[in-house]
Amino acid sequence: MAKSTKNTYLMYKAGEATDYTKLVDIIDYPDLQEPKNEVDATTLSDTTKQFVEGVRENAQKEFNVNFNATDYATLEALDGKLVELAIYFDTTTPTAEPVGDYAKFIFSGYVTVSVTGGAVDELTKMKVNVTMATPVTIATV
């Protein structure tokens, strides 16, 4: 069954918490997993390029967010700390916290936040960057 991006959440474990809570409302999310690199295995006797599978990239993840001072302060307090994060895909709007009942992708990384540039007739936004410490994995729902 296809699912819209509606009800997608950036979650984190605050402090010593065992459960994830919503970090901030996001406008978009990046590719969660990159393809594996191709390693060139071509020899001088080959007539076409030959490749073997390499390692998967684990590039920095970037999330766009509407600015508000409370969210900015929350994100800024995480700067320099290793944070457990998740992307939750929910099937319906939750009545309390998101539950990730459609899918959960979990990972850890270092969070930084910055206010982005603006122009006439635009919303003020900020960017959340995550320097990845672990690969993104799908969790059992």
Q: Where are the domains of the chain?
A: 8-33+53-139
Q: What is the pTM of this model?
A: 0.86
Window from 12-16, 40-44, 93-97 with minimum mean pLDDT: 93-97
Cα-Cα-Cα-Cα dihedral sign, residues 140, 130, 82, 35? positive
Amino acid at 125: K
- In CATH terms, the fold of domain 8-33+53-139 is Pnp Oxidase; Chain A (2.30.110)
C-alpha distances out from residue 69 to 45, 75, 123, Å = 62, 10, 14
Does 15 have pLDDT greater than 90?
Answer: no
The per-residue pLDDT of the chain, averaged, comes to 93
